[in-house]
Amino acid sequence: MRAITQETIQNLNYVKIENPQIDLSHFPDFLIIGPQRTGTTWLYYNLRTHPQIFFSRPKEIFYFNLLNMPDFPRYQSNELAWYLNFFYENPVGYLWKNIKALKNYQEFYKPQIRGEATASYAAMDVEIIRDLVSLKPDIKIILMIRNPIDRAWSHAKLHLLRHSNKKFAEISEQDFNDFFNHPYNLSCGVYTKMINNWSAFLKKENFFIGFYDDIEKRPEELLSNIFSFLGIDNDSKYNKFARAFFNATESIKIPEKYSELLENIFQNEIDELNQRFGLSWPIKQGSGET
């Protein structure tokens, strides 16, 4: 059992704890924080098949990112006990995971770490990040980075087309403009702010920044690096699904008017990413993958 101190409880801004004797031993060891359309679903499916990892079900709990939005439709609770309930095994799930582990890797499911993958966590307010890290100071965080223009276009296709069950021709230019300029959607492409916010609270060695381009070019190497970061076995056999794509959107070329709009929005961010990480992207026409 891992107890929580009274001082920690008193310093929490958004997380509520009714029972001060709460057991934190099931708090996740790592989080995939997104943002959306950067390959987080690919990463989730590859990690959840690893027999040493327990993942919450569902994939996205939407707990921390909604703590300061109680009126949001997906908001359910600010109580930590409610959140921790997603990190306990059930007998049926445990049996199923053993069957899959034996089938895929000829070994039993023996989880050593727990994880969650909510893509909306990337752009959370710093006060919520502070709460989260105070509950688990050694938590490990995985942030994925993708060309902000491609990410925004893929996000728009997912939201405006797939989720609305509409064809591209049915979506107005105003709809696209409103989506691209929505404050939350804008925040999803400003990786440098995310990095700064999370870095302020995390141990340097507990923050992994992955690149979407590596999913396309060297997925096995990326997975191996993440396995090592998480402290689990990184044998090449666990790369079995590395070249599978998940949750891809329809491949539609981005119209020039939208590529120009997004380039104007994110040019400063792209320049900053180039300076900090050596990332440089051409304007891609028609990116439609995860």
Tens of pLDDT, residues 103-120: 999 999 999 999 999 999
**Mean pLDDT, the chain, integer:** 94
The pLDDT value recorded for residue 212 is 95
DSSP string, the chain: -----HHHHHH-SS-B-S-TT--GGGS-SEEEEE-TTSSHHHHHHHHHTSTTEEE-SSS----GGGTT-TTSTT----BHHHHHGGGS--HHHHHHHHHHHHHHHSS-----EEEEE-GGGGG--HHHHHHHHHH-TT-EEEEEE--HHHHHHHHHIIIIIITTT--GGGS-HHHHHHHHHSHHHHHTT-HHHHHHHHHTTS-GGGEEEEEHHHHHH-HHHHHHHHHHHHTS---GGGGTTTT---SPPP--PPPHHHHHHHHHHHHHHHHHHHHHH-------S-----
pLDDT given at position 86: 97
Model confidence at 208: pLDDT above 70: yes
Residues in a beta bridge with 145: 211
The pTM of this model reads: 0.94
Distance CA 220, CA 241 (A): 9
Domains by residue range for the chain, with CATH? 6-154+192-249 (3.40.50.300)
**What is the per-residue pLDDT across 84-99, written as a single tens digit (0 to 9) for each?**
999 999 999 999 999 9
Quick one: angle between helices 219-230 and 40-48, nearest 10? Answer: 60
Q: Please tell me the distance from the alpha carbon of residue 54 to that of residue 51, in angstroms, as a whole number.
A: 8
Cβ neighbours of residue 102 under 8 Å, at least 6 residues apart?
A: 108
What integer pLDDT is reported at residue 98 of this predicted model? Answer: 98
Closest listed residue to residue 30, CA positions, set 192, 138, 127: 138
Is 279 within 8 Å of 195 (Cβ atoms)? Answer: no
Q: What's the length of the chain?
A: 290
212: left (phi over 0), alpha (psi -120 to 50) or beta: alpha
**What is the pLDDT, as a whole number, of residue 288?**
46
